[in-house]
Amino acid sequence: MVEKSHTTGFWPSLADPFRTFGTRLAEWVAPASEASGDDNAYRISIELPGVEEKDISLSAENGIVTLKGEKKTEREEKGETWFFSERQYGSFSRSFRLPPDADESKVRADLKNGVLTVTVPKAKAEEKASRQVKINAA
């Protein structure tokens, strides 16, 4: 039988549960999203249940779409002999790097049924006309 010492990682460190805490907290506060695209545009769908339009800020700059907002939910229940109240608040921010052919000047966003859909059209590829180049003889 081989004994493992504390230096080989057999026993978890006391800090292990906290190593990923920041990531798990960010995932809880940051809304879930998915990105897709077709021949004409890129789309980013972001789940924002209960978030109102006035609590959302969306910008497109330097090839990056940034969403910022705040979740505010409140729930109260009352009975004859009891009362329950729950509130959740939290700011969130998500950024998405756009592909080089995205036209960030034409970004559009629609909020429907708790889902924000950001549409970024693809820039039209300009056909560059060839031109004759004059050759100077010396």
The model carries a pTM of 0.63
The string of DSSP letters for 82-110 reads -EEEEEEEEEEEEEEEPPTTB-GGG-EEE
Nearest to 42 by CA among 99, 94, 95: 99
Mean pLDDT (the chain) is: 79
- Return the closest-CA partner of residue 96 out of 123, 69, 57, 61: 61
**CATH T-level fold of 30-121:** Immunoglobulin-like (2.60.40)
Q: 1-17 pLDDT, tens per residue?
A: 554 444 455 555 565 55
The identity of residue 119, as a single letter, is: T
Residue 86 phi, psi dihedral angles, 5° rounding = -135, 130
Token reading at 88:
């959740």
- For 125-138, the pLDDT digits (tens) are 765 556 777 778 76
